[in-house]
Every structure is written in C-alpha cells, then in structure tokens.
A = this chain, B = another copy of it.
C-alpha cells in the first residue's frame, strides 16, 4: 500500500509541475479498488463504452478469487496474480458482469492456460485515462489508455519470442461463449457473450463485439479452443479429449465456450506493440468503425492525451481551493467516479441495441446505459443536473427511449437488458427531479405517462411488484420481499409523480399521489418509533428485531438494511416523520441514536441522507455539519480502501462530492440542497449556459480548517441567510454562498 501511495505522489508531483491547472491529475483510480469498492484502476474515457482493467481475480494465488467467492470486480488491490486486461468492465457494482475480452502479453512458448501464463506485477501506475505496470514473469511493460469505444494497449517486450493472447474464455462471470476470426496478421474480429448480472436472467445474455488491430504484423498467429471433457465410450477415440487444441494460422471463424487467439512475434531487440480494440454492442462492423473513427491514425500518446484532456475539461467544471492535497485527490477521484456510469451505449454512428426488442436503433444524442437507479436516484443524477445538465438531459432521453422500446422505464438497466435488480420505481424520481431543476428539453408528457403506467398498472407490472397491496392497503405486506423498504421506495416515487403532476397542472393526480406518498405512516410502530413490517392480515410482523438486516443479511421487511437504516428514509416528508416520532426532540434523539449505536451504514444507500436530516430541526444543524465532515474523513481516503464499500456506479462518490462542497440534495421534489460544512476555502461550479442563467456557483468559507468545522454564519450573494438550505434556483442564478466557520457548534 505504501509503495503505491508514494508512487502516486511522485507521479502527481511530476505531472503537476508541468501543468498545475490540470485537475485530472488529482484522480487516483486506485481509490475503491479494495474493501469491495469495486472500482478498477485501468483507463476509461468519460462515460466510455470501453475500459481496461488489470484482471487479477482468477487463480488461487489471489486473496480474493472470483470462483471461490462472489466477486463483482475484475481487479482487487490486495491480489497479486494477473491473468490479463479485460476490455469492458463495470465500475463500483455489487454484481459481477462484463470483465471479458482479456488481452495478455507473454514471452516464450505460447501457453494458453491462464493459471500458467498469469504473472505477478509491479510498478503500478494509474491516472485518469492511463494505467501501467510491469509483468514480473515476463519483464513486459504494459501501458493502457482508452478512447470512448476503444481500448488501447501498449506492450514493451524484451528481445525474443513475444506473444499477445486474447483470451475469450476467461471472464469475470460464469457466462461463456465466444466467436473469433483472425482477419490478418494485424487484425482480429469476434464477439463474447456477456450478461446474467447478479447471476439472474441468464436468458438475457447478449454479445459484445470487438475488432482488434495490432500495430505490428504477427510473425505467427492462431486460435485455441478448449473443448469439454467427454466421458464413456465416445471419449475413447478422442486422443485430444478435453485438451486445448491449437489451431495455427487459423483464419476461419471459431466458436466455443472457451476459445482464444495468440499473436506471436520474434523480436531481435526490445520492441513495442500497440493493440487497439474497438467494441460495440451492435455488430463487428460497428466495432471496426468505432476503432477507425476514434483511433485509426492516432498514437497511444495522442489518444491518452485526448482522453486526459476530456477528463480534465469535465472535472474542471468544479474548481476547489484550500483543503489538503489528499482532499483534492479524494474529491476529484470521486467526481471522476461519477462520470463513468451511466456510460455510452451507442456506437460512433449512433446505433445501439434497443432494450428487450433486440432491434438496432439510431440515436442522435448519447444513448446511455448502466442505470443503477436504486442507487443513483439519491444524489448522482442531482449532481449531473447541476454540473453536467446536457448529460443528464440525454440520460432522461435514454430512459424515455427505453420506455418507447419496451413499454417500461428502466429500473436497473445494463446494456439494454433490464436486470430488475433491487426494489422500487426510481426512474420517476430522477425524471421529476431533472424536470424541476429546469432541464426540460425532453418529452415530459411522455415521461409522465410512463411514470403513471408503472404507478398504476397492477397486472404484469415488472417494475412494481406488490402494487395491488400497496394501492389497496398503503403498504406491501410480508408476503412480498422487503415489504417495508419497497413501500418506502414507492412512496418516494409517488411523491415525485405528485410533484411533476403539480408542475404540469394536473391537480387531481397531484392530490392522489401526494396522498399515496404518505402511506409509510401505516407502517410506523410508535412502540419502536420505527417502521415495522405488517402481515397480510394487517397485524405487525412478529418477532420484530430492528437490528436484523444489517450488513446485507436477509431480513423480513427490509432490503439491504435494517429498521434503523430505513427509519429515516422518508426524503419527501421529514416534517411528517418528525411529527410521527413525537416532535423535534424525539426525532433528533432517535436520529442521533443511529449514529451513536453504530447502526449507520455508510456503505449502502438507504441511510446515506441521514446525516443531513439534523438540518430539519432548529438549532441542530451543527450535528449535520459534524457528522458529514466526520463521515467523509472516516470513510473516504486516498487509498485503495478509500471507499466505504461498493461505489454503486458513483453514488458513494457523489455523496462525497456534494458533502465536500457543503451542499447536499437530501430531500425530494423541493429543489433544496442542505448546507453543511465544506472542506475547501472556495468551490466554484461552472454552470452550463444552455440550461442555467448564472455563470458560476460559488461556495466560500472563512476560517475553515479541520477544527473549524462548524458554520457560524451564512451569506448568500452578500446577504445574511437564516437557513441551512439553498435552492437550486439560487444556485443556478449564479449564487455566491459564504460560510463563516468556527470550532464550536452554533446551537
């Protein structure tokens, strides 16, 4: 660990010496690569389709091994045995998928068994858009960068026989099946089957196509295929039963569950080879076009520079001053993590596979994919709306296109498959929030219709199981999985529908859904001051253990959490919840108890807005300031274990970005941000003139330090502000928020 940190500091100093304004140099892609953060250190362009991850999760040499445990990521920082570099990957997810098309350079005789050709590695370097290491076994220096749809590898080989393997059998999951065709000594095309996210819906597996181009023609090439082992009589006449077969010079199409290719070179001196791999979810032709259009004539260095500049340009939308170097690394790495997913699905020519139908369509804007909405509805999309509204607009348009294509908004969409992971109906929340924030260049009536459909269609509704109970009784019962959690999610969604109805002048709908959104109260048990599952007959579920369900264990009523971790997940009605709990004091006591009793889980979404709810009680905002700053310090660090758990496609990172800025969109439908304690002297957010009247939003602090974490006074645009929240309108009008900090809480 120390080695890496030191190395990074060295790299950082080196680079910043040249261009100190390049905030992309603060990105440390190692953050989150341990402690189940599930990020990868390899390069990816902003919202890129292609990404490269050093793949070190195969082989018993590794501490965390994909076949021995549920592993959702292609790279684990503690592991040491590397078996390739995967070309499509997911960042910060809790289920395995992708992590395929593994490129591996080796030397000497061609070995096709990854357990034999794998190697330890050293000299790891990871930056925005760049990764490098040295493979100890082969003394090969590896370097990687990517454009949006193309992964670029650069290998520096020693003298002698060198090989570049493309392993299409090995992958992160148990999904198998690939096709490959060597076109020439410099080109390969093929596909790999992926899918079955969370090992669900294996029938929705789908192809990722690729074209690989090599900068130098191979002296020799071929395909390998490992067939299954036959038994019995039919095995007797197969001298090659179960053995990997090497098909030298093969230029015909080869398919199978476990296949790969090798390109071999005989170098008389140290030489480099670059491999560009274009990917596509539409076709091989599109993968080739992606490669040609994005990288054809460009060198590795040029591509890296372009991607770095793109990162830098996007990350520069928020400029910070003050704070420590580590604060900046943490902040910009978090912002970087929020710009990976949702990512681009469409090819360079605009084509993409429709959700469910499998048809190929064409998009004008970016078609986004990887919508982990149960996570991202809470803060990531709000961050996009504020800083990157054009992206957020295209995300909404992508969600509406999905509705056009298969009749439903997404829930947890992945490469045009609906994984139905987690619960609730989060698309409505994201759409309403976006619209209310002023990003309205989408067909809002269509969106509203789509929201109503999932809110009202009782039969054959894939988004809202248990809807009949919910509508009739106000809550799901223990006959549904996660009945309390799901009721809360439906409440939040219904509130968003109500708010959009209101904005659109649909008064009756507003009333209906506003009312529906408050039905969580029926689950409130005064004896516990908590929400509690109800049985189908209406009685409370017995025995009730409010602690059950923590740490991702299963429990009745709750999904990935316990009663404490869900009790305050009423982001649209904290005032109502306060009343239920018996007023401000009881509310604060109960909320403080979550933290004092260590029930707060920073690693998962249900309770991540909790720290901000203290702002809702007069004189208690200091608790939010203290708690947020404490949590940010405790759980987010400049090291591989620097995320509290799964990054959840950037949701945890978005939490940190907002928290470090001192504002957080904790509530729903009211366009408010809670004001807490920022870590910087100055934060400047560039505003997109297409969507917002102001040019920048600025947060400034006075006397801010590690000790002076408490807000003493607030000014907005030079005028004293007597509240701990600020509206979106105030922000995007170009607001300047000034906070005077001090060491003591202002009660």
Task: Pick out which of these stretches binds chain B: A228-236, A580-588, A678-686.
Answer: A228-236
CB-CB under 8 A from A193, the residues of chain B are 254-256
Given A193-B255, A251-B358, the answer on whether A67 and B234 have CB atoms closer than 8 Å is yes
CB-CB under 8 A from A177, the residues of chain B are 225, 227, 254-257
List residues of A (606-624) whose CB comes within 8 Å of B's CBs: none
Residue contact B250 to A358, C-beta cutoff 8 Å: yes
Task: Pick out which of these stretches binds chain B: A201-209, A338-346, A517-525, A592-600.
Answer: A201-209
List residues of A (170-225) whose CB comes within 8 Å of B's CBs: 174-179, 191, 193, 199, 202-207, 225
Contact of A422 with B by CB under 8 A: no
Residue contact A240 to B202, C-beta cutoff 8 Å: yes
**How far is A386 from B292 in the complex, measured between Cα atoms in Å?**
56
Contact of A136 with B by CB under 8 A: no
Residue contact A358 to B255, C-beta cutoff 8 Å: no
Residue contact B179 to A227, C-beta cutoff 8 Å: no
A219 to chain B, nearest CB (A): 17
CB-CB under 8 A from A199, the residues of chain B are 237-240
Contact of A176 among B178, B228, B253, B353 (CB under 8 A): B228
CB-CB nearest in chain B for A238:
B199
CB-CB under 8 A from A239, the residues of chain B are 199
Residue contact A257 to B227, C-beta cutoff 8 Å: yes
A352 to chain B, nearest CB (A): 12
Contact of A237 among B70, B206, B245 (CB under 8 A): B70
Contact of A247 with B by CB under 8 A: yes
Residue contact B203 to A248, C-beta cutoff 8 Å: yes
For this chain, the copies found in one complex come to 2
**How far is A281 from B734 in the complex, measured between Cα atoms in Å?**
67
Contact of A299 with B by CB under 8 A: no
Contact of A359 with B by CB under 8 A: yes
A588 to chain B, nearest CB (A): 42
Residue contact B252 to A255, C-beta cutoff 8 Å: no
Contact of A384 with B by CB under 8 A: no
List residues of A (82-140) whose CB comes within 8 Å of B's CBs: none
Residue contact B176 to A179, C-beta cutoff 8 Å: no
A700 to chain B, nearest CB (A): 50
Residue contact A230 to B174, C-beta cutoff 8 Å: yes
Contact of A68 with B by CB under 8 A: yes
CB-CB under 8 A from A225, the residues of chain B are 177, 205
The 0/1 profile, CB within 8 Å of B marked 1, for residues 404-439 of chain A is: 000000000000000000000000000000000000
Contact of A18 with B by CB under 8 A: no
Given A232-B67, A257-B228, the answer on whether A252 and B353 have CB atoms closer than 8 Å is yes
Most buried by B among A66, A238, A246, A252: A252
CB-CB under 8 A from A178, the residues of chain B are 255
Contact of A6 with B by CB under 8 A: no
Contact of A19 with B by CB under 8 A: no
**How far is A240 from B359 in the complex, measured between Cα atoms in Å?**
27
- Number of residues of chain A lying within 8 A (CB) of chain B: 49
**How far is A689 from B206 in the complex, measured between Cα atoms in Å?**
58
Residue contact A255 to B202, C-beta cutoff 8 Å: no
Residue contact B253 to A207, C-beta cutoff 8 Å: yes
A419 to chain B, nearest CB (A): 14
Contact of A479 with B by CB under 8 A: no
Contact of A203 among B179, B245, B255 (CB under 8 A): B245
Contact of A249 with B by CB under 8 A: yes
List residues of A (128-171) whose CB comes within 8 Å of B's CBs: none
CB-CB nearest in chain B for A193:
B255
**How far is A747 from B258 in the complex, measured between Cα atoms in Å?**
69
CB-CB under 8 A from A245, the residues of chain B are 202-203, 205
List residues of A (335-390) whose CB comes within 8 Å of B's CBs: 353, 356-359
CB-CB under 8 A from A206, the residues of chain B are 252
CB-CB under 8 A from A205, the residues of chain B are 225, 245, 247, 254
Contact of A1 with B by CB under 8 A: no
Contact of A252 among B202, B251, B253, B358 (CB under 8 A): B358
CB-CB under 8 A from A227, the residues of chain B are 174-177, 202, 257
CB-CB nearest in chain B for A257:
B257
**How far is A179 from B233 in the complex, measured between Cα atoms in Å?**
28
A359 to chain B, nearest CB (A): 7
**How far is A359 from B251 in the complex, measured between Cα atoms in Å?**
8
Given A174-B234, A255-B191, A257-B257, the answer on whether A247 and B179 have CB atoms closer than 8 Å is no
**How far is A207 from B353 in the complex, measured between Cα atoms in Å?**
27
CB-CB nearest in chain B for A69:
B233
Given A234-B174, A238-B174, the answer on whether A253 and B202 have CB atoms closer than 8 Å is no
CB-CB under 8 A from A237, the residues of chain B are 70, 199
A181 to chain B, nearest CB (A): 9
A361 to chain B, nearest CB (A): 13
CB-CB under 8 A from A353, the residues of chain B are 252
A527 to chain B, nearest CB (A): 38
**How far is A67 from B314 in the complex, measured between Cα atoms in Å?**
61
**How far is A237 from B249 in the complex, measured between Cα atoms in Å?**
39
CB-CB nearest in chain B for A222:
B203
A61 to chain B, nearest CB (A): 16
CB-CB under 8 A from A66, the residues of chain B are 234
A444 to chain B, nearest CB (A): 31
A133 to chain B, nearest CB (A): 27
CB-CB under 8 A from A202, the residues of chain B are 227, 240, 245
Residue contact A204 to B247, C-beta cutoff 8 Å: yes
**How far is A304 from B276 in the complex, measured between Cα atoms in Å?**
51
CB-CB under 8 A from A251, the residues of chain B are 357-359
The 0/1 profile, CB within 8 Å of B marked 1, for residues 242-286 of chain A is: 000111111111111100000000000000000000000000000
CB-CB under 8 A from A179, the residues of chain B are 179, 253, 255
**How far is A605 from B595 in the complex, measured between Cα atoms in Å?**
90
CB-CB nearest in chain B for A175:
B227
A481 to chain B, nearest CB (A): 15
Other than A203-B245, A249-B356, give 20 A-B pairs with Cβ distance below 8 A: A69-B233, A70-B237, A175-B227, A176-B227, A177-B256, A191-B253, A193-B254, A193-B255, A199-B239, A202-B227, A202-B245, A203-B246, A203-B247, A203-B250, A205-B225, A205-B245, A228-B228, A251-B357, A251-B359, A252-B358
Can you give 17 contacting A-B residue pairs, CB < 8 Å? A66-B234, A68-B232, A68-B233, A68-B234, A70-B237, A177-B225, A177-B227, A177-B254, A177-B256, A179-B179, A193-B255, A199-B237, A203-B247, A228-B228, A251-B359, A252-B358, A255-B255
Q: Interface on A for B, CB 8 Å cutoff?
A: 66-70, 174-179, 191, 193, 199, 202-207, 225, 227-228, 230, 232-234, 237-240, 245-257, 353, 356-359
Give the top 5 A-B pairs by smallest Cβ distance, nearest first: A251-B358, A177-B256, A177-B255, A203-B247, A67-B234
